[in-house]
Amino acid sequence: MARLNVNLTRMVLTNLKRRLNTARRGHKLLKDKRDELMKKFLEIVKENRKEREKVEKMLMDVHSRFIMARALMSDTHLEEALIYPKQKVTLKASSKNVMSVQVPVFEFETEGQGDRDIFPYGFANTSGELDEAIIALSKVTPHLLRLAELEKTAQLMADEIEKTRRRVNALEYVMIPNLEETIKYIVMKLDENERGNLTRLMKVKDMILEQAHGYKKKMTEES
């Protein structure tokens, strides 16, 4: 462990002790934050996996229906039918705070007369299989947005967990041991100084007494 390069004074010692206290409290708080983030992260990952499986299944269904519609209509017919979407979707993107992480929140609103009003083409020259594909696709949209929200949240939380983990480790394995060692060293040095002072004082006392009473001289005479 590296000792900090500080002056070996009581003031510094007091400051370092204060810093150590703060570091220990911060370490505990960050550790709690990391644990809570992990808990939330695991919940999100679990939900994300479920949502992804659901969305993938739904998209496969949409894909197979579109393939069938595509197989029954020429490129130009399909292009004409789908070029101009009938339903407009407004996406509102905001954010919310989860354990000091700003995670996205997507809300979407559709303009139109609801689920029945989503077909931008006439029914005389198009295949009915296209209707099924469009319905399936419109059902998958809210799930896709939820998945996007979850995946981004998981990504942001993973970043925050990583940052917190680094901070916890830095406090646990670097800052706190360094402070402890420096404090120990300063205490040791100050104690040593103290002991040096005491010895010096005793010596001075002896010298003063000697000067005043001449004990040494008397002792020599007596003997």
Chain contacts with other proteins (rule: CB under 8 A):
64, 67-68, 70-72, 74-77, 79-81, 83-86, 116, 119-125, 127-129, 131-132, 135
CA-wise closest residue to 26 among 157, 175, 178, 181: 175
What is the closest distance, in whole angstroms, from the C-beta atom of residue 41 to other proteins in the complex? 38
Q: Identify which of residues 11 and 71 has a Cβ nearer to other proteins in the complex.
A: 71
CB atoms within 10 A of CB 198: 10
Q: Identify which of residues 133 and 156 has a Cβ nearer to other proteins in the complex.
A: 133
What is the closest distance, in whole angstroms, from the C-beta atom of residue 79 to other proteins in the complex? 6
Tell me the pairing of strands 101-111 and 88-98.
antiparallel
Q: Identify which of residues 111 and 206 has a Cβ nearer to other proteins in the complex.
A: 111
Q: Which two tokens stand for residue 168?
A: 């916890």
User: Are 148 and 21 spatial neighbours (Cβ–Cβ below 8 Å)?
Assistant: no
What is the closest distance, in whole angstroms, from the C-beta atom of residue 154 to other proteins in the complex? 32
CA R_g for the chain: 38
Q: Identify which of residues 8 and 135 has a Cβ nearer to other proteins in the complex.
A: 135
What is the closest distance, in whole angstroms, from the C-beta atom of residue 59 to other proteins in the complex? 14
User: Are 175 and 168 spatial neighbours (Cβ–Cβ below 8 Å)?
Assistant: no
